[in-house]
Amino acid sequence: MRYAMAIDTKKCVGCSDCVVACQTENNVPEGFCRDWVTESVSGTYPQVEIELRSERCNHCEDAPCVRCCPTGASQIVDGGIVIVEHDECIGCGACIESCPYDARYVHPEGYVDKCTFCLHRVTEGLQPACVSVCPTKCMYFGDIDDPNSEISNMLKTRKQKTLAPEAGTNPHIFYLI
Amino acid sequence: MKEEIFISGRNLPHIDPHLELWHWPISLYLFLGGLAAGILFFAALVVLFRKEDKYIGAVKYATIIAPIAIGVGLLALLYDLSHVWYAWRLYVTIRLESPMSWGAWTLMLVMPVSMLWTLSYFKEYFPKWNWDFGFLSYFDWIIDFVIYHRRVLAWILVPSTILLGIYTGILLSAFNARPLWNNSILGPLFLTSGLSTGAATIILMSKSHAERRMFSMIDLVLIGIELFLIIHMLMGMLAGSQVQHEASLLLLGGEFTVSFWVFVIILGLAFPAILEIFELVGFKVPAIIPALLVLLGGIMFRFIMVEAGQLTRYLY
Amino acid sequence: MRTNRRQFIKISALGVGGLAAVASTTSLGGSLLGIFDSSDPGRDIDFKRTATYCEVCFWKCAAWINVDKEGNIVKIIGNDDDPHCNGRLCPRGTGGVGMYNDTDRLKTPLIRVKGVNGAEDSFREASWKEALDLIASKMKDIKQKYGAESFALLKHGSSGSHFEHLFKAYGSDTIGEPAYAQCRGPREQGFSSTFGSWVGSPEPTDIRDTKCLVLIGSHIGENMHNTQVQELAEAIDKDVTIITVDPRLSTVASKSQHWLAIKPSTDIALLLAWMHVIIYDELYDEKYIKKYTYGFDELKEHVKNYTPEWAYGITTIEPSVIRKTARKMADAAPAVIIHPGRHVTWYGDDTQRERAMAILNGLLGSWGKRGGFYLKEKVKIPKYPHPAYPHPKWGWEEIGEEYPLAQMGLTNEIIRASIPEENTKHKVKAWFVSGTNLPKSIPDTKNLEKALDSIEFLAVCDTMPMDVTGYADVVLPECTYLERYDKLRSATNREPSIALRAPAIKPKYNSKPSWWMAKKLGERLGLEAYFEYKDYSEVIDWQLRKLGSSLKEMKRLGVKKFNRTSGPLYIANGEDYEFATNTGKVELYSTELAELGFDPMPKYTAHPEPEQNFYRLIYGRAPMHTFSRTSNNPNLSALKDENKVWVNPKVAKLWSLKNDQEIYLKNQDGVVTTFPIKVRITERIRWDSIYMVHGFGNANKKLSRSYGKGANDTEMITNVMIDPIMGGTGMRGNFVTFITDLKSIVS
Ligand SMILES: Nc1nc2c(c(=O)[nH]1)N[C@H]1C(S)=C(S)[C@@H](COP(=O)(O)OP(=O)(O)OC[C@H]3O[C@@H](n4cnc5c(=O)[nH]c(N)nc54)[C@H](O)[C@@H]3O)O[C@H]1N2
Ligand SMILES: Nc1nc2c(c(=O)[nH]1)N[C@H]1C(S)=C(S)[C@@H](COP(=O)(O)OP(=O)(O)OC[C@H]3O[C@@H](n4cnc5c(=O)[nH]c(N)nc54)[C@H](O)[C@@H]3O)O[C@H]1N2
Ligand code: SF4
Ligand code: SF4
Ligand code: SF4
Ligand code: SF4
Ligand code: SF4
Ligand SMILES: [Mo]
C-alpha cells in the first residue's frame, strides 16, 4: 500500500479551505500551518496564466528528513506516510533543514510538526481533513498501489507533475496540470 | 513577469520568507568541533611521532582547550534544541544515515578521550601539588594509567578527530535541500579549516619558536589547500544546476559577498598566509596576529556558511 | 479636528477582563516540562455534534458543530444532506470556529461615557439591565417625540430578523440592509423586469449542468458562495466553456477559455454587441423567441447599430472575440448562463446592465432550462402567532419614494433622512444597528459620519468590536451563531429544505443571543404579546411541528428536505408557461420600465474615466474572508491578514513601485486612506485600474489582529452613482492615485 495525493490545479480555486480544515482538525497552533496554497502567475497581460497549488509535505519515498533525523523521530510508517513521533524528537531542526519544500515547522511546544496525511483519520477509513472539505473536490487521496483506486485512475489519465523532482526526494503529492 | 506567492499566508517563524532556523549556536558548535578536532589531531600525531618534547604547546597546552571547546560546543547545541528535555534520545539510537547522529556519537567519543588526555598532563600542569596527599592520591593511579596509555589515546584520536572534522562539514553538505551546502567539498573543506584553526591555536599556546614555526608552515599548507578547495567548490557550483549557480552567487555577488571576501578570504586566509610567509622568510611578525586572524576567519566562515546556506533552496 | 457629538471611540476603555491570557500559560508550563502534546487530534466519534447553519456569509450552509469532551468547539463540518453545501463548507465556514474563539470579542454591554474637558469619549462596562433599560427608554422617547417611524433599524444577517420583529411591533418599518442597495438590488430588478422573478439567494443557476457559463465581473471562486463554487468545479470536469468578463484576471478568469479583459464600466456595450451578433447572425431559436418572449422586434431594431466593431472602441475587446464568444453561447443554448452576479451596484446604470444580462439569457432561452436557470422552490415556514403589527405612517418605502422600483429599504436613503440639512420628507432620529459594519459597507463615509453625528441615539448589536461599535451609545454583545438559536433556515434551492441552528455551547463571556435582546426590549416596551415564549427554541419547535417535524428530530438531522410542490425543476420544451411579467412573457422590451419612464431596453452611456495618474478603484472578495467580519478571525487572518493593492507592472514601473512597498491611496476628492497598503505588482490586472480586496483597514484598536492591516476601500468611495430605478449605490466610479512618500502623510 502506498498513499499519495493528486491535486487538480485546473479546479483548485486557491480558497485555502484545506488550510483551515487542517488547522482545526490537527490543532495547528495560530501562526503555523501544515499546508498552504501557492499561486504561480506567468505571462504578460493579457496573456496570463495562474497555477494554484495546495502544498504540504510530499511524503517522499526517499525522504531526506527521515534520513537525517538523529533519533528516528522522523519515520516512515505503513502506506509510506512520513510522520514525526513527537516524544522522540529533540528539536534539532535537521529535518527542517533537509526538506526541499519547507514542509515542517517547530511547534511552539518544541517538537517538529508537519502534515501526517491525517494518519488518525486514514486509519479509520476517512479521507484526510483537507481532502474532505475541499469545495471543488480537486484533491484525490488514496492508494497508488491499487490500480483501481480513484487516484490511480486520475494519475493514469491526466498530465501531472511533482514539485522539485530534481531534489531527488521522490515526492508523492502529484499535481494534475 | 513571473510571480510566485503564498496566497494563504504562510508565515512560519524561522522558515518564512526564508529559512533562518540555525544560527550562532550551530555555527559555534561547528567551529568549536573543528577546532577541537584540529588541536587533538596534531597532539595525537606529535605523540605518535614521539615528538612530545619538541611540541609541548601542541600536546600539553593547546589540548586543554579541546574538551572546553567540545563542552561549550555541546552546550551551544543543547541550547539550540527546541525539545531539549528529549536530548537523551540522541544517545539511545545510532543512525548512520544521519550525520547529526554519528556526529553526536563521535563527539561522545572524542570528548572523554580529550579529557583523559588533559588528565594525563595534570601533574605537569600542577607540578607543585603533592599527589600523595589526601584525596588527590585517589587520582594518582588513574593519571598514571592514562599517562602510560597515552599512545592508545593518540591512536583513537587520529581517526576520530578526522571524523569529527569532516562531520562539521558533512552535517551541512548532507542537506540536499540547501544548494549552497550540498557539495562533496564541504566535508574536506571544513576538516582543513578545522585543522588550520587547530594549528593556529597551537601557535597561540606555544612558547617555543621552533614549534610555532613548524605549525606556521603547517598552517600555510592548510590555508593553501583551503583556498584551493573554496575555489574548487565555487567553480563547481557556478557550473552546476540553476539552484547551485544561484546559491554560489550569494557569496560571489549577493548578500554575503562582502563579509565572505573580507572576513574569510582576505582576513582569514590570504592575509595570515602572507604574514606567515613573511615570517618564514625571516621578517619579524608577531605570530599571534596570523593565528588570531585564522581563528577569526574560521569562525566567520562557519557563520556565513550556516546563514547563507539557509537562504538557498530548490525552486519549483 | 471637528469635535463630534458622536466621537469615534478607538483606544479607550473597552472592558477586556483578564480572560485572554489563561490559555497560553498552560501550554507554556507544559512545554517547559516537555510533556504536553497539544497537537494530538481528537477522534470524530468522541465529539458531540450540534446542528447549525453558517453565519459567516449568507449562503447559510448547514453544518455540524463538533465539541470535544472538555467543551471546546473543535471544528465545524458541513452537513452531507444539505443542498447548500453538500457536506463541504467553504474556508470561512470551516474557520467559523475562530469567531467563537476570538478573544477580542465583545464581552459585555458597553455604554458611552462622554469625555469631560476635552477628553475622549470612552465606554464603560454595563449590565444587561442597564443597557437594555437605556435603549428601551430611548425607544420610548423617540416614539413620543417624533413617532416610532423615526427610529431606524439597519441590519444584516440572522440577528436582524429578531430586531425586525421588534421594530415592526414597536411601530417602525424604517428598516434597511446593505444587501439590497449596496449589493443585489439592481439584479433583482433587472431580472424581475425581464422574467417576472427575482434571482434570489442562493441563485438558481444550474451551473453543474451548464455548457457555457458567462461571468460578468462575478468572481466565483473568490466569491466563495459555496455550491456555486462546487458546481463550477463540477462543470469544469465536464468541460464547460467559461467566458469571463473582468478587467482583472480573476481566479475563475484563469480557468476560462475566454478572458475578456474589458475596460471597466463598459459592460453594457459588450452585452449589446453580443445581442447584436446573436440576433443578426440569427443564432437564436426562433420558435422559442416567438412563443416565450415579448419585444423581439423592438430589441432587434434597438441593437442594430451596436455592432462588435462599435463595442470594440468602447470595451477594448476585439470584434472577433465578441463574435466567437456569442457563438459559443448560442451553441450551448439553452444550457447557458449569463450569470446575474451578486454585488452589482457598480456604475449607477446597474439595473440596466442587469437587464441586458437578463435579455441575453432571454434570447438564449436559458430561464427555466437545464444548464440555465432552474425553477427554484423553498419551504414556507409557518408564522409563530403574534398580534398584528401596527401600521407605521411611513417607512422604508416612503423614504425610498424617489426610486419607484426600490423593493427593499435603501440604507443610503435612511442615512440621508438622518441628516437634518438634507431636504427629505421624513426625518430619522435614531438608529439600531445589528450585524452590519456600516463604515465598511456603506460608501460615502463623510455622509455616513454626518448622519452618525446628527442622530440622537445609536445602539449597536455586534459580536466583535468592529468599526461601527466605535460610534455607538450602547453596544450589545451578541454571542456567535455557534452559541444560539435562530430562525429556521428556509431558502430557495432545487429541492426545498429547512435547517436548524441550535447552540452547541453556552454563550461565552457575558454575551447573549439577539432573540433574547429583542424579547427583553419588547417586554420593556410593553410588547410582551409579540414575544410569547421563554426560549426561542419554543418558536422553532412550534414551527417544526406544523411542518411535521420537531425540534428533537431536527437536532438529529440538522437539515430536512421536502418534496417540490411547485412542479418540475425545468420548463419542458414547448410547454405553455406564463412568466410573472405584465405580458406573461420574457420581456426583452420591458413594459414595466417603459411605464415608469425608464429606458425599456438598455442603452450604453459612457462613464467618466480616470484622469492622468489616476486609476479606477475596483474591489472584490478574497475567498477566505467575508467583508470585514472575518478580518480579525484567528483562523482566517492566519491565512490572509491584510489586503494589497494590485498594480499592473507597467504602472508600477512608471511609479517606481516595488512589491510590498507601503503606499497610501488618494482619491479624486482628495481623500487619503487612513492606513498604508502594500503593493502587489501583478500581470493580473489592466493598467487603467487597481484592485483591492474589500474589508480590511479596520480602525478599531480593539481588533488586535486586524487593526490597521491593509486599507479600507470604502473610504475611497466618495463618488456614489445612484441607480435611478431602484436606488442602488454605484461604487466603482472612483479613481485613486498613489502617495509613495509616507512621511508626507504622517505630518
Ligand atoms: N466598499 C465596499 N462596500 C461594500 C461591498 C464591497 O464589496 N465594497 N459589498 C457590499 C455587499 S455585497 C454587502 S452584502 C454588504 C455587506 O455588509 P455587512 O453585512 O455590513 O458586512 P460586514 O462588514 O461583514 O459586517 C457585518 C457585521 O456584522 C457583525 N456580525 C457578524 N456576525 C454577527 C452576529 O451573529 N450577530 C451580530 N449582531 N453581528 C454579527 C460583524 O462583526 C460585522 O460588524 O456590504 C456592501 N458594501
Ligand atoms: N469569500 C467571499 N465570498 C463572498 C462574499 C465575501 O465577503 N467573501 N460576499 C458574498 C456577497 S454578499 C456578494 S454580494 C458576492 C459578491 O460577489 P460577486 O457578485 O462575484 O461580486 P462582483 O462585484 O461582481 O466582483 C468583483 C469582480 O468584479 C470585477 N470588476 C470590477 N469592475 C468591473 C467592471 O466594470 N466590469 C466587469 N465586468 N467586472 C468588473 C472585479 O475585478 C472583481 O473580479 O460575494 C459573495 N461571496
Ligand atoms: S480547498 Fe481545494 S480548492 Fe480550496 S485551495 Fe485547497 S485544494 Fe484548492
Ligand atoms: S516533503 Fe519534506 S518533510 Fe515531507 S517527506 Fe519530503 S522531505 Fe520530508
Ligand atoms: S528535529 Fe526532531 S524530527 Fe527533526 S531531525 Fe531533529 S529529532 Fe528528528
Ligand atoms: S493531510 Fe491532514 S495533516 Fe496533511 S495537510 Fe491535509 S489536513 Fe493537514
Ligand atoms: S458559503 Fe461559506 S461562509 Fe457562506 S454560509 Fe456557506 S460555509 Fe458559511
Ligand atoms: Mo452582498
Residue A118 Cα, ligand 3 centroid: separation in angstroms?
16
Q: Are residues C575 and C721 in the same domain?
A: no
Residue C1: the pLDDT is 36
Tell me the three cell numbers of residue B81. 534544541
Express each pLDDT in C373-412 by its tens digit.
999 999 999 999 999 999 999 999 999 999 999 999 999 9
Contact list, B177 vs chain A (CB under 8 Å): 64, 97-100, 167
- Judge whether residue C12 has pLDDT over 60: no
Residue C36: the pLDDT is 53
Express each pLDDT in C252-308 by its tens digit.
999 999 999 999 999 999 999 999 999 999 999 999 999 999 999 999 999 999 999
Q: Give the closest-approach CA distance of A159 to chain C in angstroms.
A: 14
Express each pLDDT in B173-199 by its tens digit.
999 899 999 999 999 999 999 999 999
CB contact under 8 Å between B83 and A90, yes or no, is: yes
Contact predicate A98/A70, CB 8 Å: no
Contact list, A46 vs chain C (CB under 8 Å): 249, 259, 261
Residue B188: the pLDDT is 96
Interface test with B, best of C639, C646, C648 (most B CBs within 10 A): C639
Q: What is the mean pLDDT of chain C?
A: 94
In a domain, B314, yes or no: no
Q: Which atom of ligand 4 lies at the shortest distance from residue A82's CA?
A: 5
Q: What is the mean pLDDT of chain B?
A: 92
CB contact under 8 Å between C686 and A45, yes or no, is: yes
Express each pLDDT in C654-684 by its tens digit.
999 999 999 999 999 999 999 999 999 999 9
Percent of the residues in chain B that have a pLDDT greater than 90, as a whole number:
79
In a domain, B4, yes or no: no
In a domain, C359, yes or no: yes
> Does C686 sit in the ligand 2 pocket, CB within 6 Å?
no
B1 shares contact with chain C (CB less than 8 Å): yes
CATH number of the domain that residue C639 is part of: 2.40.40.20
Of C39, C76, C230, the CB nearest to A136: C230
Q: Crossing angle of helices B99-120/B136-148, nearest 10°?
A: 110
Supply the residue whose CA is at minimum distance from atom 4 of ligand 4: A57
**What is the pTM for the complete model shown?**
0.93
CA Rg value for chain C: 26
Average pLDDT over residues C455-476: 97
| Dihedral sign, Cα of residue B77, residue B82, residue B87, residue B92 | negative
Q: Are residues C218 and C289 in the same domain?
A: yes
Which residue from C minimizes the CA distance to A12? C233
Residue C530: the pLDDT is 98
Q: Give the closest-approach CA distance of C183 to chain A in angstroms.
A: 22
Contact list, A69 vs chain B (CB under 8 Å): 95, 98, 100-101
- Judge whether residue C323 has pLDDT over 80: yes
Residue B126: the pLDDT is 84
**Cα angle for residues B43, B49, B54 (degrees, 5° grid):** 65
In a domain, B16, yes or no: no
Q: Are residues C215 and C362 in the same domain?
A: yes
CATH number of the domain that residue B68 is part of: 1.20.1630.10
In a domain, B233, yes or no: yes
For the CA atoms of B25, B27, B31, B34, the dihedral, rounded to the nearest 10 degrees, stands at 100
Q: Which has the closest alpha carbon to A97: B25, B306, B17, B107?
A: B306
Residue C29: the pLDDT is 38
Average pLDDT over residues C116-122: 90
DSSP element (H, E) containing C519: helix C514-524
In a domain, C160, yes or no: no
Q: Of the residues A13, A55, A132, A173, which should be mutated to test ligand 3's pocket, given the most ligand atoms within 8 Å of the CB?
A: A13
Interface test with B, best of C640, C657, C687 (most B CBs within 10 A): C640
* Helical spans, DSSP H, in C547-629: 551-557, 591-595
Contact list, A133 vs chain B (CB under 8 Å): none
Average pLDDT over residues C2-9: 56
Task: Map out the domains of chain A as residue ranges.
Answer: 3-176
Express each pLDDT in C692-713 by its tens digit.
999 999 999 999 999 999 999 9
Q: What is the extent of the structural domain holding C295?
A: 201-375+569-595
Residues whose CB falls within 8 Å of the CB of residue C45, separated by 6 or more in sequence, listed in order: none
Confidence of residue B282 (pLDDT cuts 50, 70, 90): confident
Confidence of residue B40 (pLDDT cuts 50, 70, 90): very high
User: What is the rounded CA–CA span in Å between residue C344 and residue C347?
Assistant: 9
> Does A169 sit in the ligand 4 pocket, CB within 6 Å?
yes
- The chains in contact with chain C, meaning 3 or more Cβ pairs closer than 8 Å, are A, B
Confidence of residue C16 (pLDDT cuts 50, 70, 90): very low
Question: What is the edge-to-edge ordering of all strands in the sheet holding C48-53?
Answer: C48-53, C62-67, C73-78
> Does C717 sit in the ligand 1 pocket, CB within 6 Å?
yes
Total domains in the fold of chain B: 1
Confidence of residue C41 (pLDDT cuts 50, 70, 90): confident
Q: Are residues C585 and C634 in the same domain?
A: no
Q: Are residues C578 and C695 in the same domain?
A: no
Residue C57 Cα, ligand 1 centroid: separation in angstroms?
9
Confidence of residue A126 (pLDDT cuts 50, 70, 90): very high
Contact predicate C147/C424, CB 8 Å: no
Q: Which of A99-103, B210-214, C3-7, C638-642 has the lowest mean pLDDT?
A: C3-7
CATH of A3-176, one of 3.40.630.10, 3.40.710.10, 3.30.70.20, 3.40.50.300: 3.30.70.20
Which residue from A minimizes the CA distance to B89? A71
Average pLDDT over residues C469-474: 96
Residue C334: the pLDDT is 96
Of B15, B97, B98, the CB nearest to A105: B15
Q: What are phi and psi of C361, to 5 degrees?
A: -60, -40
In a domain, C297, yes or no: yes
CB contact under 8 Å between B95 and A40, yes or no, is: no
Residue C6: the pLDDT is 60
Q: Of the residues A20, A25, A38, A77, which should be mutated to test ligand 6's pocket, given the most ligand atoms within 8 Å of the CB?
A: A25
CB contact under 8 Å between C233 and A135, yes or no, is: yes
β-bridge pairing C497-499 and C48-53: unpaired
Q: What is the extent of the structural domain holding B248?
A: 24-309
Q: Give the closest-approach CA distance of B145 to chain A in angstroms.
A: 35
- Judge whether residue A118 has pLDDT over 60: yes
Residue B142: the pLDDT is 85
Could you tell me which residue, C440 or C8, shows the higher pLDDT?
A: C440
User: Nearest bound ligand to CA B21?
Assistant: 5
In a domain, B1, yes or no: no
DSSP label at residue C499: E
Which of B:117-176 have CB within 8 Å of A? 171, 174-176
Residue C10: the pLDDT is 54
